[in-house]
Structure 1
Amino acid sequence: MAAAPGKKSATVDEMDIKLTHALQTAPRAPFAVIGSVLGVSEQTVARRYRRLRTSGAARVIGFVDPEPLGRQNWMLRLFCRPDASGRISHALARRDDVQWVAILQGGTEVDCVLRPRTLDDQDQLLLQQLPRTVQITGIEAEAVLHVFRGSTTQDWRVGPDFLTPDQEAQLLAGTPERSDRPVQLTERDEPLLQALMLDGRASYADLCAAGGGWTEAQVRRRVTELREGGLLYFDVDLDDAFFGNPLVARVLLTVAPAHLHAVGEAMARHPSVRFCAATTGSTSIMLSVGFPDVDSLYRFVSEDVARLDGVAQAQVEPITRAVKRAGTIVR
């Protein structure tokens, strides 16, 4: 189900938006705490979250960040024939280390985000599999250098600023803080991580049942260790159409080096920018944006981006179809 352009879905109201906002602040906060902050019952919060998750509007997901493992996030642009974009995008979507896949430019480009766990996985895809695919006519691989806005840095929030600093503190109470203590992943962690990728709010009892031979106390301790080490983090996967922004696009900016940080910081504060990062490659900054209509996207480029010093070029690429979002294939 998708909302009409520029309008929120009839199934999403202000309380749903406030709940989603709260979950973006603290994805695993207890429903009782969220209810207390929002002024509703724990049962109301649980019921509304189940409806949001079932409808595909919003859900909490657990992710592995490859950076503490010494790996980089890669953004791949694959240029291909339109009749092959569907097969290529679905083949990429079946890989566990590919977190996001979309078809752009009317079917002539497939983009994906690669988060490799090992160098072998990275090299196998970038140096062997993709170059041998005859339907792919060109490949651009860009490494992420710095994230200005993302799930762990100045995260974007749906709706206005609903929460006071005290309410945010209530939601974040008990959330493990990042430490410098190194943590390594083991094979025993895999069932736990796979379960959290499917449901980031899975209970510790459910995570025990996923496998790995953990006790509930061990699961609780291990999740805390992985979060403190920066290897595991949680985010909220949203379907923008449900929240009144059916037009999603990628915007690539070419920026003079002296202005790179200032432009990145400015874009990270824009309410329509979901993700903003400096990257390698022919362009300098990549943005993920969502808007209610084409006019709003045009004004963003012609006014908001245009007024920034140092921006030499802006390339806009509307997303034709999302194939995989937040680690899950879109049906």
Structure 2
Amino acid sequence: MAKEIANGSVIRNELDLRIAHCLQVAPRAAFSVIASVLGVSEQTVARRYRRMRSAGAVRVVGFIDPGPTGRQNWMLRLFCRPDTSVGIGRALARRDDVQWVAVMSGGTEVDCVLRPRSSDAQDQLLLRQLPKTVQITSIEAAMVLHVYRGSTNSDWRIGPEFLTAAQEQLLTDGTPAITGRTVELSPRDEPLIGLLMREGRATYAELRAASDGMTEAQVRRRVTELREAGLLHFDVDMDDGFTGQTLYARVLVTVAPSHLDPVGRALGQHPDVRFCGATTGPASITASVAFEDVDGLYRFISQDVGRLDGVAHTQVIPLDRTLKRAGAVLP
């Protein structure tokens, strides 16, 4: 029997990790398919996922990527007084277009990821609301130019390489491929997107019930269209304790332009890097990393980043408290 590990929110074992890994490969894969790949019963997979989901350890979420609509993701650093950082972060976390919020640097800054649903909403936040907030002393806004690792490209996965290529193919069979088709979001999409942001594995029957008078066939077709357009994506949100990596940090790397792509690709393949992207602003590359302890972070900076050609400057920003993760506001 696999050894079980207590992590503060749920008791996990290797099967839990494998189920989470399968969900990262194909977030909406049927439990029967996951069970076939892992060699266990469908009831076992369903029961374990629901237990992890109810404990807040693992859950599938949907989100809208603004890229295909001509808008870009933004990474914001808000410098503020320590006694106001949590309040500012909580206010940002209430926004549907803010995907991730954390208090960083000992409470002196709030970092967040903005996925704007409209140009008006983006301008309202960046040009009017935040600059007028007196508790915020300075703002750095970096546009994401390219993603080397993230929920829309080569996503990080928990655990070792659990699956063979054939098993991954079995999981992803039936997953709509991004075709680049042009699709415009409409008001009828909002109830579907709202439910999928809360529960990414919502059934088509549940989506039909939440929709504005759509049939189940129409809902299925619309979700497929949004996924093929690259607008609708799915991610697996995991509790820090479940992963075993509770030390999070943001790493800002400045590199020469000729080394940008090779450095970005190298960092994007590192097993402890959760996100890596080329960004505007003072840093060329922004990476989110997670480790079990500070020694792991030190080795990453001194050895893994240090050996890369073209790296001119590195800044490490420790994460103190996550307020919103993968679209979910945390207690």
The TM-score normalised by the length of structure 2 is: 0.97
Per the TM alignment, residue 315 of structure 1 is displaced from its structure 2 partner at its CA by 0.8
**Matched-pair identity in %:** 66
The Cα of 1:240 is off from its aligned counterpart by 2.5
Segments of structure 2 that go 5 or more residues without pairing to the other structure are: none
Checking the alignment, whether the CA contact within 8 Å between 2:10 and 2:55 is kept in structure 1 is no
| AA of the residue aligned to 1:163 | L
2:15 partner letter: M
**Whole-angstrom CA distance in 1 between matches of 2:26 and 2:108:** 38
Aligned to 1:255: 255
Q: What's the CA shift string for 1:17-57, capped at 9, x where partnerless?
A: 00000000000000000000001000000011011111111
- Aligned amino acid, residue 175 of structure 2: T
Deviations 1:152-183 (CA, angstroms, capped at 9, x unpaired): 21111100000001000100011111113211
Alpha-carbon shift at residue 103 of structure 1 (Å) = 0.2
Q: How does 1:155-304 map to 2 (within 5 A)?
A: 155-304=155-304
CA contact (8 A) 1:12 1:243 kept: no
Structure 1 runs, 4 residues or longer, greater than 6 Å off: 7-10
Q: Distance in 2 between matches of 1:289 and 1:226?
A: 30
User: Which 10-residue stretch deviates more, 148-157 or 8-17?
Assistant: 8-17
Which residue pairs with 2:51 in the alignment? 51
2:137 aligned counterpart, secondary structure: strand
- Please give the alpha-carbon distance, in whole angstroms, between the structure 2 residues aligned to 1:223 and 1:268: 29
CA change 1:10–1:218 in 2 (3 A) is closer
Q: Give the letter for the 1:21 counterpart.
A: H
Larger mean CA deviation between 240-249 and 18-27 belongs to: 240-249
Task: Tell me the C-alpha RMSD between the 2 structures.
Answer: 1.3
Three-state SS of the structure 2 residue aligned to 1:117 is coil
1:123 aligns to 2:111 (yes or no): no
Aligned to 1:19: 19
SS in 2 for 1:137: strand
Three-state SS of the structure 1 residue aligned to 2:12 is: coil
Partner of 2:319: 319
- Does residue 145 (structure 1) correspond to residue 145 (structure 2)? The answer is yes
AA partner of residue 304 (structure 1):
D
| Rounded Cα–Cα distance in structure 2 between residues aligned with 1:255 and 1:12 | 40
Cα contact 1:188–1:212 (8 A) shared by 2? yes
Query: Is the Cα–Cα contact under 8 Å of residues 8 and 243 in structure 1 kept in the other structure?
Result: no
Deviation of residue 254 (structure 1)? 0.8
Q: Distance in 2 between matches of 1:182 and 1:10?
A: 42
Count of aligned pairs between the two proteins: 327
Residues 133/178 of structure 1: CA separation in 2 closer, same or farther (3 Å cut): same
Give the structure-1-normalised TM-score.
0.97
Q: Tell me how far apart the structure 2 counterparts of residues 197 and 254 of structure 1 sit (CA, whole Å).
A: 34
Shift of 1:231: 0.8
Instruction: Tell me what 2:110 maps to.
Output: 110
C-alpha separation between the residues in 2 aligned to 1:197 and 1:10?
23
Q: Distance in 2 between matches of 1:319 and 1:128?
A: 27
Amino acid at match of 1:210: A
**Gapped regions of structure 1 (runs ≥ 5):** none
Indicate the SS of the match to 2:175: coil
